[in-house]
Amino acid sequence: MNKHIHILGICGTFMGGIAVIAKQSGYRVTGCDANVYPPMSTQLEEQGIELISGFGLEQLALEPDIYVIGNVVARGNPLMEEILNRNLPYVSGPQWLSETLLRERWVLGVAGTHGKTTTSSMLAWILEHAGLNPGFLIGGVPQNFGISARISDSPFFVIEADEYDTAFFDKRSKFVHYRPRTAILNNLEFDHADIFSDLAAIETQFHHLVRTVPGNGLIVCNGREESLQRVLNRGCWTTVETFGNPEGWSVDDENRIALSGNIQGTLHWDLLGEHNRMNALAALAAARHAGVPVSQGIEALTLFRNVKRRMEVRGSVNGITVYDDFAHHPTAIETTLAGLRKKVGNARILAVLEPRSNTMKLGVMKAALPDSLKDADRVFCYSGNLGWDAKEALSPLGSRVEVEGDLDALVEAISGFARPGDHILVMSNGGFGGIHEKLIGRLKG
């Protein structure tokens, strides 16, 4: 086994997670990134992982057994170029993880356009609550655990199975490396327009995932998604359980969970939205495959605390509540707003949006944005770094929308409009320039 790994692009959630579990498994782990930044840098340094800023050639003197390459690393990167020139051993993060740490484990993989992080967190927590002590690698921080990754002596390992590409030298989706015994297919829509030409291209990658699930495994599939049905129709060699439909796993308005119409129990929790009820069904089905009775799974979910940045309350000032949410795709924006609307009734919702993902920056989804924001009373959009006209794209919202290219001006506009009883929902897949703290500070002022 390779005792020393050096990770290029270590500060992303996924590669940082690999670093943590490699260290826990007894490897010497070093790593570098363009910007070594918190919170990941702090988490890694606490684990005794040596971090180097930049991709300088002096790192070759470390002479690791193998270089593990994150998908932020491209041709032209000086360190990578020299690794190639010298014919030094290198491998992608997903492949290293699969071959080194996952090969003899029961992998539970959670795939889908939306809900991967939340569903993975639910599933890991159900297994933990049942005493199964699972390992996991999740693209966020589940509040029940306080960390995004760990390895354990348990055979069970929960992983967020991402369809994004593996590395510059391996354009397959990350999830084809994981060989899950239990696979959740949560939903499937067009996303990642920077690497996929259309929905059919993503469906092909999901079909590649389905091809890797063993015959004695289980596929837990959203029964409402035509795209996923097309994926399965291309060939499936594994038992499939559906959710979100009467024939499979379902949940009613009273949060009663049923399997093939037979009530299994009632879920008592504070999570908002139909999307989270669907996530719960998928997690319960997958956990049952790993041996956790449904009643025990439901009991675990009553104690589930959501992932950070999923409708997370960041503060309340003068009766105005500020939330942080990761929503960055029109479907996620719509379901998040619908969940909040159901909770707050007629109270005003102020939606604050940063279109920051690669797909959003390209403007591929801009036509769907106005409809996805229909549940908001007022929309504030940050247009900095966009290659398209946000004002024009959001014009169907009329006077309900305000677009600003300057962050401080945006904060002023929001705080000037807000009044006691309002709910401010901030949506971005990045840090959004620390807007939450700025808003809370301004509201206090």
CATH number assigned to the domain comprising residue 392: 3.90.190.20
CA 193 – CA 435 distance, rounded (Å): 27
Both 188 and 133 in a single domain?
yes
Both 256 and 333 in a single domain?
no
Whether 169 maps to a domain, the answer reads yes
Determine the pLDDT at residue 307: 66
Domain boundary among 302, 324, 344: 302
The CATH code of the domain that includes 38 is 3.40.50.720
The CATH code of the domain that includes 251 is 3.40.1190.10
Both 261 and 335 in a single domain?
no
CA 400 – CA 237 distance, rounded (Å): 50
Both 158 and 206 in a single domain?
yes
- Indicate the pTM of the whole model: 0.77
Both 111 and 259 in a single domain?
yes
Both 56 and 111 in a single domain?
no
Determine the pLDDT at residue 349: 95
Domain that holds residue 238: 104-302
Give the chain's domain count: 3
What is each CA distance from 304 to 129, 143, 255, 268, 427, in whole angstroms?
10, 8, 15, 10, 22
**How many beta carbons lie within 10 A of that of residue 125, not counting itself?**
25
Whether 270 maps to a domain, the answer reads yes
Whether 339 maps to a domain, the answer reads yes
Both 271 and 337 in a single domain?
no
Determine the pLDDT at residue 111: 93
Determine the pLDDT at residue 145: 83
CA 374 – CA 334 distance, rounded (Å): 8
Whether 307 maps to a domain, the answer reads no
Both 409 and 328 in a single domain?
yes
Instruction: Tokens for 370, please give them.
Output: 């106005």
Chain centroid to CA 231: how far? 21
CA 39 – CA 279 distance, rounded (Å): 27
Both 316 and 396 in a single domain?
yes
Determine the pLDDT at residue 241: 97
Whether 232 maps to a domain, the answer reads yes
Both 289 and 347 in a single domain?
no
Domain boundary among 278, 302, 326: 302
pLDDT tens sequence for the chain (445 residues)? 559 999 999 988 899 999 999 999 999 999 999 987 677 788 888 888 999 999 999 999 999 999 999 989 999 999 999 999 999 999 999 999 999 999 999 999 999 988 889 999 999 999 999 999 999 999 877 878 888 899 999 999 999 998 888 999 999 989 999 999 999 999 887 666 566 667 888 899 999 999 999 999 999 999 999 999 999 999 999 999 999 999 999 999 889 999 999 999 999 887 767 888 999 999 999 999 999 999 999 999 999 887 666 778 888 888 999 999 877 778 788 888 988 898 889 999 999 999 877 667 677 678 888 898 999 999 999 988 777 888 888 988 888 988 888 899 999 999 999 999 999 999 887 778 888 889 998 888 7
